[in-house]
Amino acid sequence: MHYVYVLQRLDDEDKFYIGYTSDLRQRLKTHNSGGNKSTSGHQWKLVYYEAYMTRSGARIRETRLKHSGKARYQLMRRIRASLGDLGAG
């Protein structure tokens, strides 16, 4: 399986990171140990993921979320609602 995931920064709950991996647990450890330039210096928690059968499917979805404002907005709105932050959008 391959996953598209969303992390939320623990020290600033308005900050999120979108990525993809085939090993969610290990990837979260890498982010939290400073092994990713974009997320180093902060601690993160996994707040959302989607599973894909193929690597290419996950990469396409990750790219769409990172580069399409509408797709990202809709997903982040859903995530924030599930986290209890109904006023954010």
Q: How confident is the model at residue 89 (pLDDT cuts 50, 70, 90)?
A: very low
pLDDT of residue 40: 92
**CA dist., res. 78 & res. 1, Å (int):** 23
Q: How confident is the model at residue 85 (pLDDT cuts 50, 70, 90)?
A: low
**CA dist., res. 75 & res. 39, Å (int):** 20
- Across all residues in the chain, what is the average pLDDT? 92
Domains (ranges, CATH) in the chain?
2-82 (3.40.1440)
Mean pLDDT confidence for 30-50: 94
Report which of 50, 49, 41 is spatially closest to residue 12, judged by C-alpha positions. 41
Residues 6+ apart with CB under 8 A from 54: 2
